[in-house]
Amino acid sequence: MSLGYYFLLPVLFSFLTPYFKKLGSFTLRGSSILLSLVLFLQTVAYVGVKLPQISQFSIKPPLGIAFILDGYSLLFLLIFTFSALVVSFYMYWFFEENSGRDEARFYVFFNMLIAGSIGMILSCDIFNLYIFFEITGICSYTLSAFNKDKLGLESGIKYLIIGSIASIFIVFAIMLIYLQIGTVNLGLIAQRFHLIDPKISVLIVLMLFIGFGAKAELFPMNFWAPDIYQGSISSVNGLFSSVVAKAYLFVFFHLFYLFNLGSKYMLFVMVIGAITFLVSEFTALNQTNVKRLFAYSTLGQLGILFMALSTNSSQTVSGALFHLTSHSISKLLIFLALGILIHKFKSAKIDILGNFKSGFLTIVLAIGFLSILGIPPFSGFVGKILILKGFALSQNYTAIAFILLVSIVEAIYFFRLTAMMLDKKRAKVTVKVGSVNYIILTLLAVLIILFGVYPSLLTHYTDLATNALLHPTNYLNYALGVGL
Amino acid sequence: MLDFFNNTQTIHMIIIIGSMALFFIGFYGIATQKNLVKVLVSFDIMESALFLFFIGLHYQVGLVAPIVDKNLKTFTSMVDPVPQAMILTTIVIGLAVLALGLSFGIEYYKLTGRNDISKMNELRD
């Protein structure tokens, strides 16, 4: 199957949504599940195939446009399609419970969001990358305003304004690159990036940093993220945390290593990541809204990932990619489980949500919390320990001390939440979990434990991804059309 | 006198100064205006400045637009078509975002009767 179908199929399903709606809500919900299932199975079929794979459209690159799948994008593709599958099953339950909501509007933008994020990680052309960036952006604005109430619309408007600022910076950077080098192909840009006048190259890097950093929720530009998480429904929060933010992070580091910016800007990105981690974890301490709390927690984890991914050492980067996968699964589990509680209590205040009584939800939420915190035997522990081991091998003891110290702050609120759930006196309201949710939440929890107990299941793919990220020779050859 | 303007470098200079001025007008609008519609219009002004800048810098005296008609004799007598194709796409995207922003604004106004972005602060702890 050509890689182009990763984009074409979701777009096709998006445009067919009005017809599916006419055929009934079962078809509508089923179509989304079918689409995610097809994309996920197709991605699984790429596991073990010789990488990179290329699909060119009409003309051979570097003149034509192409999609390239290498080890690095394969890992993200697996995460994205898996998350989409889980969320589409969850939405089946959600619309069953909330009948009368505008289902078709959700599915149009959900499918396009998947198309946009996948396009961003496959495209080998910076202008196409910008188009997919905008598609993902527009869909996330609309999804965050899915509740057409005051809070939802406010979050949509805020996201749109931030997104417009980011896209102006990125358009400017792309224009400067084209004016300097005369191409939009990533391979050619990577080859000729060092020829650009240093002053202009600093300007380009700064603009790309602001543009992608603002979307990937980096420190000075991430004040908006908790607002948007608070205004959107919790399955959309799960998507933002495990797909959208990760897609922007993918592009950030893809360009970082392709343009070989590591030697100049490594310290800068590391410090920004560290500040993100520190500030977010301290702000998370006194949040009373559960969505804001986990938004800040997401920002904190992204801070660790930015610290670890910028190091250019293969152990740390591999650990960071492991942590990224584990974080995506855990955050998806937490947001979906919280969505069930928020639906029951019609509120997102921690005090009110703490009154639930359901053994199953307590167990899965505790698994999610402890995994993000990094307690064995869950996958978050392995991720954190691999990152720390990488830092130790490169003798960066400051980073180790910093991560461990800030993790104590993280521990305070996670243990507080866990203790609140286990408190027998509070538990009053019995919460029913639908059978679909039993299956998906169990699946996510089992995956967290499985990757925690047998990390080698995942480390093989993170090592492949690290190799592709740090040594993009094969990718560049394909992007330049050598030997096609 | 008119020969002075019929010079690629002069035209590029005028375009750089003009588009920078336009860019800062848009920036000023975003920084100072509180009405959502005015903020969105300011974004559009900023984007237009970028488009003019990019298209303008690829214009050279004596070259024609990259459209196949009787003026176009050889491919060397036309300007680079790639920036024009890129800008055309970017204009469409900008229009879509503007329309979406306005529709959010209308819905918000219907609910609350306000369109002041400095008062959109109900999302807090």
Distance CA A228, CA A223 (A): 10
Q: What is the CA radius of gyration of chain A?
A: 21
Which tens digits make up the pLDDT trace of B6-63? 888 999 999 999 999 999 999 999 999 999 999 999 999 999 999 999 999 988 888 8
Res A177: pLDDT: 93
Q: Is residue B110 part of a domain?
A: yes
Cβ-nearest to A145 among B86, B90, B104: B104
What residues pair up with A185 in beta bridges, in sequence order? A125
Distance CA A125, CA A190 (A): 11
Distance CA A234, CA A347 (A): 12
Residues of B in contact with A179 (CB under 8 A): 54, 57
Res A102: pLDDT: 86
Calculate mean pLDDT across residues B76-85: 85
CB atoms within 10 A of CB A379: 30
Q: Which pTM value belongs to this model?
A: 0.94
pLDDT of B80 strictly over 90: no
Q: Given an 8 Å threshold on Cβ–Cβ distance, is A150 in contact with B108? A: yes
Distance CA A40, CA A31 (A): 14
The crossing angle, in degrees rounded to 10, of helices A262-284 and A245-258 is 160
CB atoms within 10 A of CB A231: 27
Cβ-nearest to A157 among B43, B83, B104: B104
Res A143: pLDDT: 93
Answer whether B118 touches A (CB < 8 Å): no
Cβ-nearest to B39 among A127, A148, A161: A161
Q: Which domain holds residue B113?
A: 2-117
Q: Is residue B67 part of a domain?
A: yes
Contact A112, A131 (CB under 8 A): no
Residues of B in contact with A158 (CB under 8 A): 120, 123
Q: Is residue B59 part of a domain?
A: yes
Q: Is residue B82 part of a domain?
A: yes
Mean pLDDT in consecutive groups of 10 residues from the start of chain A, 484 residues? 88 93 91 95 90 85 88 94 95 87 91 94 92 94 91 92 92 93 90 91 93 87 88 92 93 92 89 92 89 92 92 92 94 93 88 85 92 90 93 91 91 86 80 89 94 91 92 89 78
Q: Is residue B83 part of a domain?
A: yes
CA distances from A258 to A54, A262, A479, B67 (A): 17, 9, 11, 35
- Best residue in A150, A188, A286 for a mutation probing chain B (most B CBs within 10 Å): A150
pLDDT of B1 strictly over 80: no
Q: What is the CATH number of the domain that holds B15?
A: 1.10.287.3510
Answer whether B47 touches A (CB < 8 Å): yes
| Chains A, B: CB pairs < 8 Å | 90
DSSP A361-381: HHHHHHHHHHHHHT-TTSHHH
pLDDT of B71 strictly over 70: no
> Does residue B113 sit in helix, strand or coil?
coil
Structure tokens belonging to residue A179:
């004016």
pLDDT of B72 strictly over 80: no
Residues of A in contact with B120 (CB under 8 A): 154, 157-158
Q: Given an 8 Å threshold on Cβ–Cβ distance, is B104 in contact with A164? A: no
Residues of A in contact with B53 (CB under 8 A): 175
CA distances from A196 to A86, A189, A283, B122 (A): 45, 10, 41, 46
Q: Is residue B122 part of a domain?
A: no
Q: Is the ipTM above a cut-off of 0.90?
A: yes
Distance from the A296 Cα atom to the nearest Cα atom in chain B, whole angstroms? 12
- Best residue in A148, A154, A162, A232 for a mutation probing chain B (most B CBs within 10 Å): A154
What residues pair up with A205 in beta bridges, in sequence order? none
Give chain B's domain count. Answer: 1
Higher pLDDT, B76 or A6: A6
Answer whether B55 touches A (CB < 8 Å): no
Distance CA A124, CA A132 (A): 12
Distance CA B101, CA A25 (A): 29
Q: Is residue B30 part of a domain?
A: yes
Q: Is residue B47 part of a domain?
A: yes
